[in-house]
C-alpha cells in the first residue's frame, strides 16, 4: 500500500472534528503557496464567489466583517 493510501486510511479513521482541523490546515497550507494560490482552476466557484464579494465590498453594498465577528455570527470556534 502506498504511503498516501495509508495516510488517507488513517485520516478517514479520525473523528470528524479532527478531520475538519486537518483539512483546514492542509487547505490553508496550499493557500500560503504562491504557485497554488494563483491557480484559479483549484476552486473556480470559490474564486467567483470571492470576486463577487469583493465587488460588493468595493461598491459599498455590504460592509466587511472581521474574523471575530464572523465566528460570533456563525458559532465558529476561536483557535
Q: Is residue 13 part of a domain?
A: yes
Number of domains in the chain: 1
Do the beta carbons of residue 10 and residue 21 sit within 8 Å?
no
3-state secondary structure of 74: helix
Q: Determine the Cα–Cα distance for residues 65 and 74; give it in Å rounded to an integer.
A: 12
Q: How far apart are CA 75 and CA 77, in angstroms?
A: 7
Residue 43 domain-assigned (yes or no): yes
Residue 79 counted as domain residue: no
Q: How far is residue 22's CA from residue 28's CA, in Å, rounded to a whole number?
A: 10
For 32-47, what is the mean pLDDT? Answer: 78
For residue 52, is it within any domain?
yes
Is residue 62 in some structural domain? yes
For residue 35, the enclosing domain spans 3-74
Which tens digit of pLDDT belongs to each residue from 2-37? 999 999 999 999 999 999 999 999 888 887 788 877
pTM above 0.75, yes or no: no
Q: Which residues contact 45 (CB under 8 A, 6 or more apart)?
A: none
Amino acid at each position: 500500500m502506498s504511503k498516501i493510501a495509508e495516510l488517507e486510511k488513517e485520516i478517514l479513521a479520525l473523528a470528524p472534528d479532527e478531520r475538519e482541523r486537518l483539512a483546514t490546515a492542509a487547505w490553508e497550507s496550499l493557500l500560503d503557496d504562491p504557485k497554488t494560490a494563483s491557480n484559479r482552476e483549484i476552486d473556480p466557484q470559490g474564486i467567483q464567489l470571492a470576486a463577487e464579494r469583493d465587488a460588493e465590498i468595493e461598491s459599498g453594498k455590504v460592509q466587511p466583517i472581521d474574523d471575530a465577528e464572523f465566528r460570533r455570527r456563525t458559532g465558529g470556534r476561536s483557535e
